[in-house]
């Protein structure tokens, strides 16, 4: 799939039809000028990175432009691409689902902060299986992607689902082809659950998939969702919004407390009961949390910006966008099944924004 580019177009100035009849040219010009004066005037802000938060960022950007006038153009290129572009200073902000460690942030001169919390969801395309019907454990999920379980009616899957008729069909695994924070979340969880996965594959934005020869690689969450929807008897992993928007069949997954849970705002929120103050740079991974209701593949998604900014106006506009999203964007996030950050976490982030400064060492945004 080609790079997905989400662009929030400039709001058009109200056009006056020439065929209207009764209005003279000077009157039309005056009306057009008055309409233009009523439109907010802002800057073009460019961001790139994770596809995980793509749905909510585009919704926020459209509403923010109407309110503020600044245009936020976001390219969904994967978390690794977002980190590369912000470190190269080719975008105003980068986006990543895999948080950078504090020492990396310091070395690159970056500030990192979360925006929303969501969930990565294993999805399947197996005829006759309804959404949320099939139960899997982390160990079984790891064995599928290790290539140790190759058919849907394998005894390990059937024993978890004794009342479900599973086909004697080969499993096709679908995974990311690009450097992906969604893959980081998925492989981090598998590494926490499966010693074999940790030893043989590990956790990273890009890994050597054991089932690469028989599986399918898709670019972005949208690519994986597309392949799972098209390939019979396949399994993949996507951000929950993509699963819902594409009417995909998700699984129930056993969490650290031993409960089989469904992905939802409630189970994502249960996984986010962590101390954000405890880790510098908000570098927290939310997979496999101990809460009884927690979805085991929950995650925050993060923004990266430079501490020192030659173009302070662009940096300010970017922070104004995220500040607006914190104040006005919760409803849009919830409609897309993300979990907004708690108010106290938003306040911590705003304190961190003081480290995003202009060339003279002054914060680009005064709050």
pLDDT over 60 at 14, yes or no:
no
Q: Using 50, 70 and 90 to split pLDDT, how confident is the model at 39? A: very low
Question: Can you tell me the distance from the alpha carbon of 138 to that of 288, in angstroms, rounded to the nearest whole number?
Answer: 10
Token pair of 208, please? 């050597």
Residue 228, burial from CB neighbour count under 10 angstroms (0-12, 13-18, 19+): buried
pLDDT over 50 at 18, yes or no:
no
Q: Using 50, 70 and 90 to split pLDDT, how confident is the model at 367? A: confident
For the chain, give the mean pLDDT: 90
**Tell me, what DSSP letter sits at residue 293?**
T
Q: What does the pLDDT look like over 70-100, one tens digit per residue?
A: 999 999 999 999 999 999 999 999 999 999 9
Q: 4-32+41-117+301-355: which CATH topology?
A: D-Maltodextrin-Binding Protein; domain 2 (3.40.190)
3-state helix, strand, coil in the chain (%, to 5): 40, 20, 40
The domain locations on the chain are 4-32+41-117+301-355, 119-275
Where are the extended beta strands (E) located within the chain?
A: 4-7, 44-49, 71-76, 93-96, 110-125, 135-136, 172-176, 216-218, 234-239, 249-250, 252-254, 260-261, 298-306, 339-340
Q: Please state the pTM of the whole predicted model.
A: 0.84
The pLDDT score that the predictor gives to residue 41 is: 59
Question: Can you tell me the distance from the alpha carbon of 165 to that of 110, in angstroms, rounded to the nearest whole number?
Answer: 51
| H helix count then E strand count, the chain | 14, 14
Question: Can you tell me the distance from the alpha carbon of 218 to that of 175, in angstroms, rounded to the nearest whole number?
Answer: 6
Helix axes 312-328, 54-68, angle to 10 degrees: 100
User: What pairs with residue 125 in β-bridges?
Assistant: 234
Residue 41, burial from CB neighbour count under 10 angstroms (0-12, 13-18, 19+): exposed
Thinking of the domain 119-275, which architecture would CATH place it in? Answer: 3-Layer(aba) Sandwich (3.40)
**Tell me, what DSSP letter sits at residue 265?**
H
pLDDT over 80 at 6, yes or no:
no
Q: Summarize the confidence of residues 180-201 as an average pLDDT.
A: 97
Token pair of 36, please? 């233009």
């Amino acid at each position: 799939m080609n790079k997905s580019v989400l662009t929030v177009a400039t709001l058009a100035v109200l056009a006056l039809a020439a065929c209207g009849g009764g209005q003279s040219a000077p009157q039309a010009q005056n009306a057009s000028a008055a309409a233009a004066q009523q439109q907010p005037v802002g800057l073009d802000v460019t961001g790139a990175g994770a596809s995980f938060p793509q749905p909510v960022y585009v919704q926020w950007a459209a509403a923010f432009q109407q309110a503020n006038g600044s245009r936020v153009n976001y390219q969904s290129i994967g978390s690794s691409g977002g980190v590369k572009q912000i470190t190269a200073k080719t975008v105003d902000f980068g986006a990543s689902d895999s948080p950078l460690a504090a020492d990396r942030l310091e070395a690159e001169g970056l500030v990192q902060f979360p925006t929303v919390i969501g969930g990565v969801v294993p999805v399947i395309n197996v005829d006759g299986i309804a959404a949320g019907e099939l139960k899997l454990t982390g160990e079984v999920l790891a064995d599928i992607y290790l290539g140790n379980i190759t058919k849907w009616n394998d005894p390990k899957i059937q024993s978890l689902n004794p009342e479900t008729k599973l086909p004697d069909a080969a499993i096709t695994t679908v995974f990311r082809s690009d450097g992906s924070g969604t893959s980081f979340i998925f492989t981090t969880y598998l590494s926490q659950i499966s010693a074999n996965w940790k030893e043989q594959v590990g956790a990273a934005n890009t890994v050597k998939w054991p089932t690469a020869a028989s599986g399918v690689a898709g670019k972005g969450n949208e690519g994986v969702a597309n392949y799972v929807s098209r390939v019979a008897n396949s399994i993949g992993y996507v951000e929950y919004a993509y699963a819902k928007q594409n009417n995909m069949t998700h699984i129930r997954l056993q969490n650290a407390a031993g409960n089989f849970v469904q992905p939802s705002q409630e189970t994502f929120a249960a996984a986010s009961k962590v101390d954000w103050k405890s880790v510098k740079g908000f570098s927290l991974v939310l997979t496999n949390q101990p809460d009884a209701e927690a979805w085991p593949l929950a995650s925050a998604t993060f923004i990266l910006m430079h501490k020192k900014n030659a173009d302070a106006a662009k940096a300010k506009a970017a922070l104004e966008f995220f500040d607006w999203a914190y104040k006005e964007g919760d409803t849009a996030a919830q409609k897309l099944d993300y979990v907004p950050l708690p108010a106290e976490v938003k306040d911590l982030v705003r304190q961190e924004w003081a480290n995003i400064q202009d060339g003279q060492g002054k914060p680009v945004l005064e709050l």
